[in-house]
Amino acid sequence: DDLKAIQGHNPNIALKIRSGKFDAGAFKKDAKSIIDSTWYVSGAPLKTGEMRTSLLQLGVPQNSIMVEEFAGY
């Protein structure tokens, strides 16, 4: 809810919440510019690692990918 409130006050923030397997096509469709966006990724270490690798392969600079890993739910 806090992130949605922040998004409502800042037109430069687009919040997209996804779960499940990474789909590069969905991100290409949702992002104005994949490369010029800052990506915040959180989840289990294996999944965040997969996401980081996929974003890098799409051309996203490493310093534009912010990752928070946590184990267990």
pLDDT at 32: 65
List beta partners, residue 67.
41
Asked whether the CA dihedral 40, 41, 43, 46 is positive or negative, the reply is negative
pLDDT at 31: 64
Whether the full predicted model's pTM is greater than 0.85, yes or no, is no
pLDDT at 73: 61
Cα 40 versus chain centre, distance: 4
Helix (H, G, I), strand (E, B) or coil at 52: helix
Over its length of 73 residues, how does the chain's per-residue pLDDT go in tens digits?
Answer: 787 888 888 887 777 777 777 767 766 666 667 788 888 888 889 889 988 998 898 888 999 999 999 887 6
